[in-house]
Amino acid sequence: MSGVTSINLVENALLVSIQDDVTDTEIVELQDTLSNRIAKENVKGVILDISSLEIVDTFVGRVIAQLAGISKLLAAETYVVGMRPAVAVTLVELGMYLPETRTALSLTHALTQLRRA
């Protein structure tokens, strides 16, 4: 998958890096892979790193929302890290508030919050 660089286990969470060029096909693969790994590895959280996204559209917003929904159904909290200010503004302008996700300034902050949960 060229749009998704990796899914790595970090402490008790899966770190997913999403790249700008992610495709519909890659998202379907990511959803399958991520849901299987959440169940298999019994993680407490999923951390979506979107720091490489310069801009977002409704497709990317929908992807984040879907991944968070899948994670929540499998009892894993979702954190979005690396969000640029322009990305946050665009998501709000698009009406995408992502209620299933939490945000953190960095991977370290997300892991700290997961440890407290």
Domain that holds residue 67: 6-116
Could you tell me if residue 101 is inside a domain? Answer: yes
Could you tell me if residue 52 is inside a domain? Answer: yes
Q: Looking at residue 98, which CATH number applies to its domain? A: 3.30.750.24
Q: What is the pLDDT of residue 16?
A: 94
| pLDDT block averages, 10 residues each, the chain of length 117 | 73 91 83 94 95 85 90 95 91 88 94 92
Could you tell me if residue 16 is inside a domain? Answer: yes
Could you tell me if residue 65 is inside a domain? Answer: yes
Number of domains in the chain: 1
Q: What is the pLDDT of residue 63?
A: 85
Q: What is the pLDDT of residue 5?
A: 65
- Which residues lie below 8 Å from residue 91, measured CB to CB, with a gap of 6+? 56, 61, 97, 98
Confidence (pTM): 0.89
Could you tell me if residue 1 is inside a domain? Answer: no
Residue appearing with tokens 């979506």: 48
